[in-house]
Amino acid sequence: MTRTVLFVEMPNFYANIERADHPELVDRPIIVGGDPRKKGSVQSATADAIAAGVKLEMPVIDAMRHCPEARAFRTNMVRYREVSRQLFAWLRRGVEQLEPFGLAAAFFDLTGLPEPPDEIAKRLQGLVHRELGLPIRAGLGSGKLIARLASEEAGDGAIRQIAAGEEGAFLAPFSVVRLEGVGEKTAQTLAELGARTIGEVAKFDPAKLEAALGSRGLQIAALAAGWDDRRVRSSGRAQSVSRETGVRDGTRDGAVLGEYIQELAQGLAAELGRQGMTALRVALKFDFVDQAAVTRSLTLSEPTAVASEIQAAAMRLLDRSDAGSRPITRLRLQLGELRLPGAEDRQLDLFSASS
């Protein structure tokens, strides 16, 4: 069976998020980077800014000279991580098993799946664009390197598939620096050997590369020839989410503890919303002033992502604790048995509880 790896990525991630967040700027180039007054550099830019000469790591001041019509934004990692979580949640709705690659890309092993690989890629593109308003590009190939480079060559919002047997021809014209594991120093060594393109590397006897670069030379030889058997280290969606907080000075007061629980429940509900998930199980852990710890849990009759319902369940668990007799110094609220809305849910008794 021919192996098929899919790589999807959101290009120019930070800049495209800023453009989506500011639709009035849809026709203007976007630059994202550090404070220009402190010699901040460009970390991301939209395709039109790049076409105007903006480069990554270029000082933002210089970038604005190249592209004066651009709008510059300061880097906002809180926002970008939030969109990253949403991106992976929606990708997992399309194909649950994936290997994240940075904040905005992922590998999938589609080998043996009944749906054609290109149809899966189109479906994921449509899903992300519909839900997040952002473009993703995709590459398909027999290994991770081929899939990633095919995606880069596809262009924004497009798909490129490299058929089995065409890997060498696809790779041949690219610079050696596009091979994983080839940095500036290794590229210089390869140039001294007479190879500046991947195709030229592929013509070498692997023993020659091993003599020059050690075991890494053999890895580079295999990749240059299009042989890439690195497996996609897939992981499914998270099985639980949790938040915790310290309780100032310790307290027995149920009303005060309820305020802490309300804040934890609201935070977890927001996290479920970002992931597009619901939870069926609620657990509350108490750390007492004497360093003893107790956990109470229950299974809901129906999964939820509603803060008030999570809070109500946690308050039931609080009532079943020793909170009124011993001061509590820390609370941890956990939601488990996460699932996608619409999935077949088990209908269990509201308080099928365990200690």
**Residue 343 confidence class, pLDDT cut points 50, 70, 90:** very low
Most confident of 67-81, 229-243, 316-330: 67-81
Homologous superfamily of the 167-224 domain (CATH): 5' to 3' exonuclease, C-terminal subdomain (1.10.150.20)
Q: Which of 262, 245, 255 is nearest to 324 (CA)?
A: 255
Classify burial at 315, counting beta carbons within 10 Å of its beta carbon; exposed 0-12, middle 13-18, buried 19 or more.
Answer: middle
Instruction: Report the candidate in 131, 126, 89 with the shortest Cα–Cα distance to residue 106.
Output: 89
In the chain the beta strands, taken as DSSP E runs, fall at: 5-9, 30-33, 42-45, 71-74, 99-100, 105-109, 137-141, 159-161, 240-251, 278-288, 293-304, 328-339
User: Is the CB of residue 42 less than 8 Å from the CB of residue 75?
Assistant: no
Q: How many CA atoms lie within 13 A of 179 on its CB side?
A: 35
pLDDT band at 42 (very low <50, low <70, confident <90, very high): very high
Segment holding 148, helix H or strand E: helix 144-154
Check: pTM over 0.75? Answer yes or no: no
What pLDDT score does 353 carry? 38
Q: CB atoms < 10 A from the CB of 188, how many?
A: 11
What's the first-to-final CA gap in the chain, in angstroms? 48
Contact by Cβ (8 Å): 145, 223: yes
The domain limits of the chain are: 1-94+106-162, 167-224, 240-339
Please give the order of strands across the beta sheet that includes 328-339: 240-251, 328-339, 278-288, 293-304
Q: What is the pLDDT of residues 228-266, one digit of tens each?
A: 999 998 766 667 788 888 887 778 788 888 998 998 998
Which of 151-155, 261-265, 275-279, 309-313 shows the lowest per-residue confidence on average (mean pLDDT)?
A: 275-279
How far is residue 63's CA from residue 111's CA, in Å, rounded to a whole number? Answer: 43
CATH architecture for the domain at 1-94+106-162: 3-Layer(aba) Sandwich (3.40)
Q: How far is 105 from 311, CA to CA, in rounded Å?
A: 34
- 347: Cα within 13 Å, side-chain hemisphere: 0
- Topology annotation, domain 240-339: Dna Ligase; domain 1 (3.30.1490)
Per-residue pLDDT at 101 exceeds 70? yes
Q: What's the token pair of residue 120?
A: 């899966």
